[in-house]
Structure 1
Amino acid sequence: MLAKTGCFSLELSNTQRIDGKMASGSEIDDVCEVFRNFNILNSKDKPPNKMTSKAWGKMVQDCLGKDTTIRQRMDSSVFPYVQDKTTKTLDLTDKAKVDKVLDKMAEVYKECKPKEEKDTPVAEVRQKLVKRILDKKNPEVHATKISKTGNVSGLTDTSKYTGAHKERFDESGKGKGIDGREYRFEDKGYVTGYKGDGTKQ
Structure 2
Amino acid sequence: MAAAASRVLGVSYCARRAFRPHHMAQYFTGPEHTLTAYWLHRYEEKLSEPLWIHIVGSYQVKPVVRNSSRRRLRRGIHAALAEAGYAVDGKIAQPPLGSDGASVIQTPTAPLTGTVMVTIKDALAVMEMGEEECLKVGREIVQKLRTPKAQGARPLIQGLIILTSSLSPPATPRRKKLTNRTNRPTDNPTPVLLLHFARQ
Note whether the superposition's TM-score is higher than 0.5. no
Q: TM-score, with normalisation over the residues of structure 2? A: 0.29
The structure that has the greater radius of gyration is 1
Which one has the bigger helix percentage?
1
Which one has the bigger strand percentage?
2
